[in-house]
Amino acid sequence: MVAVTEKLSEVRRILDRYIVEVVEHYDLCPWARPARLAGEVGIEVLWGEPAPAVWIAAAHSALGQPGARIAMVVAPESAMTPGELRSVRGDVTTGVPGTGVAHFHPEAEADLASPARLVPFLRRSPDPLLQIVPLALLESIRGTNVVPDALLQAQMLGGTAPAMRGDVADMIAEANHTRVSAELAAVTATLDAIAADRRESYSRAGIRSSR
């Protein structure tokens, strides 16, 4: 029987591949590498099909880890659809006040029609994942004198804001769109390689997976 520690190690390794080889390598988020290296990302792993209350508790726990400024909650065994994960995101946004919540899901096709439409593909994480960021932290990096309300902050972080506002987030989205449009084949190949690694390593570790 594979120990839980080994399972956790594999989930973290696969997540790290996505963060380093995709998010950091293609400069999708300028704060990803500094936060990772500074130990500012709290991570919780949930097994099976966790209920919304479990996601909420895990988000609080991850944010409460020493040094954590950002939280990631991963569900490697979950077969939930992108729509189901969006619903859980709404529950977590309500259950963890004062935060913006973004959802990442392994099922997303590249849509280059606009920067906003490309966001789901860039968040094609190996496993269903929620990222939780305190709104105070978001406000400190937005680079604008206009502070949106909490709902709009969460929508912006989740890639669902109805309009571009010309701030730092918009500039990052536009830069990501330009770079990924030029390197789509390479980005896709990296994501596919990580997914293949995930399938093989999870099978060896005894992690149940529907993908």
Give the separation between CA 120 and CA 28, rounded to whole angstroms.
12
Site of tokens 């029609």 = 113
Answer whether residue 13 shows pLDDT above 60. Answer: yes
Work out the pLDDT band at 2, boundaries 50, 70, 90. low
pLDDT at 160: 47
Answer whether residue 147 shows pLDDT above 70. Answer: no
Give the separation between CA 154 and CA 160, rounded to whole angstroms.
9
User: Whole-prediction pTM value?
Assistant: 0.85
Q: Which residues neighbour 163 within 8 Å (Cβ) at sequence distance 6 or greater? A: none
Helices (H), the chain: 4-18, 32-37, 52-63, 82-95, 115-122, 135-141, 150-157, 168-182, 184-205
Q: Which residues neighbour 9 within 8 Å (Cβ) at sequence distance 6 or greater? A: none
Work out the pLDDT band at 156, boundaries 50, 70, 90. very low
